Structure 1
């Protein structure tokens, strides 16, 4: 099969349907004869799935793997954050717990985030060798201005992967057209296109 460009499913916010769209694209691509795999660099989720080798990943990426017909593994969701309280989360890197952090510290700590980014992007690069195409899921809103300096999941990930980006919004929520317009217009010029 021809090599397809990676696809990123980004969203105007959390819970707008990104996970379902990724699963659907994986299934459609598989039925068309491709060998796709889902990928989400970092996921904040209250539940995890334990892969056959003991790695923990988000349930969403495990279900997407089933849709793609691939074995769930840590490379599909290299960074998992599981809330342990209102302000803290357990951090998993490549399927293994690496500690617990306060959200404020996690998002301010650039050195630790760079290390997680390194592992996340290396995981993507490994998957790219094995699957065609990779269907990437963004996290939260694609335009989190307060998190731009530490974001490695949304547009920086799309740039790293040279992915085509699809923006998803939920029309059942009020202000969908404004959220779509704002999500595009608040991007850096190089990402807006």
Structure 2
């Protein structure tokens, strides 16, 4: 019988530093060592969601981590999911079910916050009663001190779980000393004691050159550097954060099948297309440039969290006309989810489920009319 381990939290100096991948790795390592781990992220903000076996919704990263742990994913692994529908508004999914839209000010104020805190704490307790250890993931940076009182996912969650915290930093983007030192020094004395080590992620080059840096960082922060992880290009774990799309905006190339994914403002589940990126016959790129769309052999219209708003934008910026022109000139056009709705004759939103726009004509490529209803399945 394996002894019980403390929960462990992978917290970050920022977004996209590699917390999700390292959490998945530790889930698999603990499983290989004979434990029964489970992942947990109290609150996730992502448009790449995953349907659990019972038809509920969690962040995709936690589904991948559950697979690494060898267990079935469950909403307790990500009890709170925020799905941005505009720059200021998100759909709130609690325990796998949407409970409505909130603007950022409403969501982050203190009133009503304890109810959500009780929900995520209860989800953690249910997981911890069944699995050991719980491998937790923080969100973004742990040093957003202006949000500390309402934070549900970083150090307050680690405190509730009595978790040991490992700080993950991305050396590839530069400023690793400042980001680690600042993240540690901005913690309260109690929270600072919880940080048991630092992992430096995405290191390129000769690791011997950083050996003096390890000692400097340990002397500065008073916390050991537990390891340095090389920059891997072949770990294909689905991203939860649209930050990575900034690196995927590309152009058509010669000699391959060019597949363009239309870059919608509210693009969701772009991980649907990851498999195409790894096919050597294909060049996949994301664009809303009309000239680059004209070079595509296949145009994919992806899912959207705000279909009518994106349809309005496609008509305004000329992308809708560019897609139709490419289709007439022989390109194949395919729509998935919201993209399929865009290809129809009309999209209606009589109840204002997605916003203020009630009706728009679609691209007219399919004999379909979409009418949105209050409850989405």
**TM over 0.5, shorter chain:** yes
Which residue number corresponds to residue 19 of structure 1?
20
Distance in 2 between the 1:140 and 1:112 partners? 23
Which residue number corresponds to residue 137 of structure 2?
137
Distance in 1 between the 2:124 and 2:136 partners? 9
Distance in 1 between the 2:112 and 2:43 partners? 14
After the TM superposition, which segments of 4 or more aligned residues of structure 1 sit over 4 Å from their partners?
none
1:71-94 residue CA offsets vs partner (Å, 9 max, x unmatched): 111000000000111211100110
Equivalent pairs counted in the alignment come to 192
CA-CA distance at 1:132 after TM superposition: 0.6
Distance in 2 between the 1:37 and 1:11 partners? 19
3-state DSSP class of the match of 1:97?
Answer: strand
1:45-76 residue CA offsets vs partner (Å, 9 max, x unmatched): 01110101011000000000000111111000
Which residue number corresponds to residue 43 of structure 1?
44
1:140-178 residue CA offsets vs partner (Å, 9 max, x unmatched): 101111101101211111111111100000001121110
3-state DSSP class of the match of 1:106?
Answer: helix
Distance in 1 between the 2:112 and 2:20 partners? 26
CA-CA distance at 1:113 after TM superposition: 2.1
Distance in 2 between the 1:20 and 1:112 partners? 32
Distance in 2 between the 1:181 and 1:135 partners? 24
CA-CA distance at 1:95 after TM superposition: 0.4
CA-CA distance at 1:112 after TM superposition: 2.7
CA-CA distance at 1:23 after TM superposition: 0.1
Higher RCO (C-alpha 8 Å, min separation 6):
1
Which residue number corresponds to residue 114 of structure 2?
114
Distance in 2 between the 1:160 and 1:111 partners? 20
Which residue number corresponds to residue 33 of structure 1?
34
Structure 2 stretches lacking a partner, 5+ long: 194-377
Distance in 2 between the 1:88 and 1:154 partners? 22
1:14-42 residue CA offsets vs partner (Å, 9 max, x unmatched): 11000001000000000111100000000
Which residue number corresponds to residue 90 of structure 1?
91
TM normalised by structure 2 equals 0.50
TM normalised by structure 1 equals 0.97
